[in-house]
């Protein structure tokens, strides 16, 4: 108990003294956890939202539309078809164009009564249900047109007040929800409900269809129903189009087909960037943690206790960040899986697989970055850790021979890089992750420019807008982490090489040459990261999308901007390092 109390007090003391490091750790791990949670949550989120909508609206299993002149007779025969348990309709409907706030959209107009139907009872999400002179607009269409309760829409030359918005499982989400179109090609559109009398008055000379909704004793038997000889006989003399609830679900799922891979891949790339960030943070803390480990061993603590003390803060923050990431991802998931607001989306707790994947990701990130420094601190001798002597440099004869005639800045930079190749690999991996997402974002915009027709079609526009927003958000998060990584890696390199670089200053190197050397140590691993990230981004995008390549000028500009940013961000901590007098650095006691 005393050991646990000691660890807890040391954690609190360290977090109070350096809250910025704790907050940075939390933000980095939370970002990676939230992205992965969002990606995993989209796996079943659409089917969950659609199932909730079906249950709340008495959704049909089969949606039939017909141009039959006697829909009542057809409906009666369908009601007695094998497997049918309930029937809704027939409902009068026609296809038209509505206008609101200067925008136009195709829409089905369906006549409904004030009393609820046995099958398909649209759920009013705002306002009230239809009444004479009042329209209820499907929520996805209302969102697209910016229509709210109290506004008006123009329909067949008449202005009709909007009295409510609603959702229904009998139609796909907007803009696939126009279910009142007859034979021939279909246009994308929405759904508007009026009273039956108002719908008939508004139809005029427009072609009319009737909608009939069916419930089956076995909802999974829709395909068997459609191939039934009895149903073929019933519909032999009429045009009848059947749509099944599985078709609606598949269409709704297509709305996020590009979002899930973007989030999952983005989550893993953010994890790579997080490992780089936390490793750099652990490197900055290394001297302080080594001294703490030495003090603990000096008062009798064993290697196990020392390791536990050094790791406990990371593990505690990891658990907290995982919880925050799971919560953020769970709360944001409904908004991502239903971009057109056509489903009853409620926040559902993440499933076991999502929780397990997120926890494993967070622990891997924390352990990869913190375990090595903690174990080294526990193994370091007490005297060496307290004194913090200068470390002997590893000599590389071949490297020395190659770099001997290089300019001073380049010589120092390459030798700094050779001293810690592991850090160079991390910096290269972080740069590659960011470059990959930047390349994917550029390819996405190149695809839009190559096919501008995408912007004119409703479902593709909605889906494309969402995919672009997710790509941009993940890319910005990676850019932010990469910026932090570059500063931290530059700072940690300057801190660990401060004595060696100070000696070079006493031997004649200028502060400018020292700054340039540190920039070279960061830029050299960034170059292969950029070189690998661009083709990886193209291949990954081609795997999920169209094989479009952005202009070479775009890719070259992105590569140059990334490399210039790395150099500029490294120069700042390097310049701060050179501001300290050489004598003070050489005489400084360990922190």
For 471-482, write each residue's pLDDT tens digit. 777 788 878 878
Q: What are phi and psi of 416, to 5 degrees?
A: -65, -40
Which tokens in the block code for residue 133? 């002179």
Max mean pLDDT range (75-89, 174-188, 339-353, 541-555):
75-89
Confidence of residue 457 (pLDDT cuts 50, 70, 90): very low
Tell me if 425 sits within 8 A of 418, measured CB to CB: no
Q: Cis (ω within 30 of 0) for the bond into 79?
A: no
Does the pLDDT of residue 590 top 50, yes or no?
no
Residue range 67-75: mean pLDDT, rounded: 83
With a CB cutoff of 8 Å and minimum separation 6, the contacts of 587 are none
Q: Over 80: is that where the pLDDT of 11 sits? A: no
27-51 burial: b if 16+ Cβ within 10 Å, else e = bbbbbbbbbbbbbbbbebbbebbbb
Domain coordinates of the chain in residue numbers? 22-49+254-587, 68-238
The three-state secondary structure class of 69 is: coil
Give residue 491's pLDDT: 73
- Report which secondary-structure segment, H or E, holds 303: helix 303-337
Closest residue by Cα to residue 474 from 437, 522, 429: 437
CA dihedral 265, 266, 271, 275 (to 10 degrees): 120
Mean pLDDT for the stretch of residues 136-146: 87
CA torsion, points 285, 290, 293, 298, in degrees to nearest 10?
Answer: -140
Whole-angstrom distance, CA of residue 582 vs CA of residue 591: 17
Reported as a single tens digit per residue, the pLDDT across 260-301 is 677 777 777 777 777 777 777 766 666 666 666 666 666 566
Q: How far is CA 98 from CA 76, 137, 168, 302, in A?
A: 33, 11, 19, 77
- Give the model confidence (pLDDT) of 512-544 as tens digits: 777 787 788 888 888 898 999 888 888 877 776
């Amino acid at each position: 108990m005393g050991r646990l109390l000691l660890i807890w007090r040391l954690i609190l003391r360290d977090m109070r003294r350096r809250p910025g490091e704790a907050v940075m750790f939390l933000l980095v791990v939370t970002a990676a956890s939230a992205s992965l949670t969002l990606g995993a949550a989209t796996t079943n989120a659409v089917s969950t939202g659609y199932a909730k909508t079906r249950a709340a609206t008495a959704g049909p299993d089969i949606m039939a539309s017909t141009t039959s002149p006697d829909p009542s007779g057809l409906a009666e025969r369908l009601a007695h078809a094998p497997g049918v348990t309930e029937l809704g309709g027939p409902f009068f409907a026609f296809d038209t164009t509505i206008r609101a706030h200067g925008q136009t959209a195709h829409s089905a107009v369906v006549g409904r009564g004030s009393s609820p139907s046995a099958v398909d009872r649209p759920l009013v999400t705002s306002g009230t249900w239809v009444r004479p002179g009042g329209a209820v607009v499907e929520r996805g269409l209302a969102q697209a047109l910016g229509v709210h309760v109290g506004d008006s829409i123009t329909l067949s030359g008449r202005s009709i007040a909007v009295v409510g918005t609603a959702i229904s499982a009998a139609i796909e989400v907007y803009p696939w929800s126009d279910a009142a179109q007859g034979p021939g090609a279909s246009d994308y559109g929405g759904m508007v409900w009026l009273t039956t009398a108002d719908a008939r008055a508004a139809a005029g000379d427009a072609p009319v269809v009737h909608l009939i909704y069916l419930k089956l004793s076995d909802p999974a038997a829709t395909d068997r129903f459609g191939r039934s000889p009895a149903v073929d006989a019933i519909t032999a003399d009429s045009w009848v189009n059947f749509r099944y609830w599985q078709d609606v679900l598949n269409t709704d799922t297509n709305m996020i087909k590009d979002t899930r891979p973007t989030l999952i891949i983005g989550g893993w790339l953010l994890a790579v960037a997080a490992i780089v960030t936390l490793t750099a943070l652990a490197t900055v803390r290394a001297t302080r943690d080594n001294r703490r480990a030495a003090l603990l061993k000096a008062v009798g603590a064993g290697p196990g206790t020392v390791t536990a003390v050094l790791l406990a803060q990371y593990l505690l923050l990891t658990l907290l960040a995982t919880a925050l990431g799971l919560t953020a991802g769970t709360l944001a998931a409904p908004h991502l899986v239903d971009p057109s607001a056509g489903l009853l989306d409620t926040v559902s707790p993440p499933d076991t697989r999502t929780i397990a994947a997120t926890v494993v990701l967070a622990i891997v990130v924390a352990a990869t970055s913190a375990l090595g420094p903690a174990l080294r601190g526990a193994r370091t001798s007490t005297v060496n850790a307290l004194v913090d002597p200068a470390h002997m440099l590893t000599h590389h004869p071949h490297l020395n021979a190659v770099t001997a005639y290089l300019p001073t800045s380049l010589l120092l930079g390459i030798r700094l890089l050779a001293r810690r190749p592991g850090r160079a690999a991390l910096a290269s991996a972080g740069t590659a992750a960011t470059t990959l997402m930047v390349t994917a974002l550029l390819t996405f915009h190149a695809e839009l420019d190559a096919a501008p027709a995408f912007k004119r079609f409703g479902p593709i526009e909605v889906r494309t807008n969402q995919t672009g927003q997710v790509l941009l958000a993940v890319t910005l998060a990676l850019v932010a982490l990469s910026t932090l990584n570059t500063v931290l890696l530059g700072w940690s390199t300057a801190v660990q090489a401060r004595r060696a670089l100070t000696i070079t200053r006493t031997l004649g190197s200028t502060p400018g040459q020292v700054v340039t050397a540190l920039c070279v140590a960061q830029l050299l691993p960034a170059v292969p990261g950029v070189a690998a990230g661009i083709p990886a981004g193209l291949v990954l995008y081609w795997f999920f999308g169209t094989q479009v390549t952005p202009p070479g000028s775009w890719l070259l500009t992105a590569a140059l901007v990334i490399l210039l940013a790395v150099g500029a961000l490294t120069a700042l901590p390097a310049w701060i390092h050179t501001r300290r007098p050489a004598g003070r650095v050489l005489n400084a006691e360990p922190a």
